[in-house]
Amino acid sequence: MKIGIIGATGYGGLELMRLLHQHPEVHVIDLYTSSEEGTVFSSKYPHTTNLYDQSLLKIDHAQLIDYDVLFASTPAGVTSQLLPSFIGKGPKLIDLSGDFRLKNSRDYELWYKKSPAPKEAVEQSAYGLTEWNTEAIHKAELIANPGCYPTAVLLSLLPLVKERLINATGLIIDAKSGVSGAGNTPGPMTHFSETNENLSIYKINQHQHIPEIEQGIEQFGNQKTPVTFTTHLVPMTRGIMATSYAPIREGVTEEQLINCLKDYYEGRPFIRVMPDSPRFCTKQVYGTNFCDIHVKVDSRTNRATVVSVIDNLVKGAAGQAIQNMNVSFGLKETLGLHQVPLFI
């Protein structure tokens, strides 16, 4: 397969290249830039020497038509303009940004504070939460890869919401992310001296992933409700932990929740339900496409604590995007995604 990556110089692009390099069906990977045309990629990122020594290419519509897959890993507001003209013209389009995720354009305007993508393009796109939308992803010309936080949150909660074992109304979701989630442009929030030995809470009640989580709970869990979702920045490079506190239906046991999760994800290679984990941490999925899920019930409060961990750059971005490419082309879901976690 011939692949083009737009936004190759960013963290999502870099991770796409790392994973696609090991994909047995991928033979060409071209790298596109909006700002560094002609720069030799490995001179910018020396760890890719002898792997990616080609020059970065200028984004050119005529040339971009010529790929089997075009990945875009660009800031919000770029692909809403760039990708619609490619729909149905040849390449499968996989967008890592938030531009096509929200079906309601008013939500996009409200939460991203940008102009939405054309309505028809959004309608034609499939939400790329692989385990929940496989058929639509297989058929779609344009795949809206989910946000990192919604991936962790939705994968852990959807089976329980759908089966009405927990009540989505009253859900409180507390999430933490490593700093690479903010991309490769340094800012006050990501400066080493302000993140190291520090813990910050940010975007309280204003995070752009709130409507995406609510949309997912409605689309796949058949429950329409607002949720409380709060994000924290942790002084680590990669990883997301999402901890949800959910009211359980009267009489529901921990065993029922565990069995429900196991049943839903049977045969899905990247979801590991781990009820007996003595410690549950982000490093157990580091560098991989796994989403690990842990659940405990507190019978005193009638609440479940549902915890999930992912690597924000892999299952939260590039890994899930490649999983979606595999689904799109009818390939084995795990191709190119066999990494063992880098635990130590």
Q: Which partner, ligand X2W, ligand NDP, none, binds residue 80 by CB below 5 to 8 Å per kind?
A: none
Q: How far is the CB of 106 from ligand X2W (least distance, A)?
A: 17
Stretch of residues binding ligand NDP (CB under 6 A), selected from 29-37, 191-199, 251-259, 334-342 = 29-37
Q: Which CB sits closer to ligand NDP, 187 or 330?
A: 187
Residue 163, classified by CB atoms within 10 Å of its CB into exposed (0-12), middle (13-18) or buried (19+), is middle
Q: Which partner, ligand X2W, ligand NDP, none, binds residue 231 by CB below 5 to 8 Å per kind?
A: ligand X2W
What letter represents residue 330's amino acid?
Answer: G
> How far, CA to CA in Å, does 20 sit from each of 52, 64, 120, 225?
12, 18, 30, 38
What letter represents residue 257's amino acid?
Answer: L
Pairing of strands 28-33, 2-6: parallel
Q: Which CB sits closer to ligand NDP, 96 or 142?
A: 96
* Pairwise CA distance, residues 159 & 16, whole Å: 29
HEC readout, 3-30: EEEECCCCHHHHHHHHHHCCCCCCCEEE
Q: Which two tokens stand for residue 26?
A: 């991928």
One residue of 1, 51, 65, 76 binding ligand NDP per CB under 6 A: 76
Residues 159-218 contacting ligand NDP, CB under 6 A: 180-181, 183-185
Pairing of strands 291-298, 271-273: parallel
Q: Which CB sits closer to ligand X2W, 210 or 271?
A: 210
Q: Which two tokens stand for residue 344?
A: 């130590």
Stretch of residues binding ligand NDP (CB under 6 A), selected from 11-19, 21-29, 128-136, 326-334 = 11-19
Report the residue number whose CB is nearest to ligand NDP.
Answer: 10
148 carries an active-site annotation? yes
Q: Which CB sits closer to ligand X2W, 68 or 95?
A: 95
Residues 147-206 contacting ligand X2W, CB under 6 A: 147-148, 177, 181-182
**Which positions are annotated as active-site residues?**
148
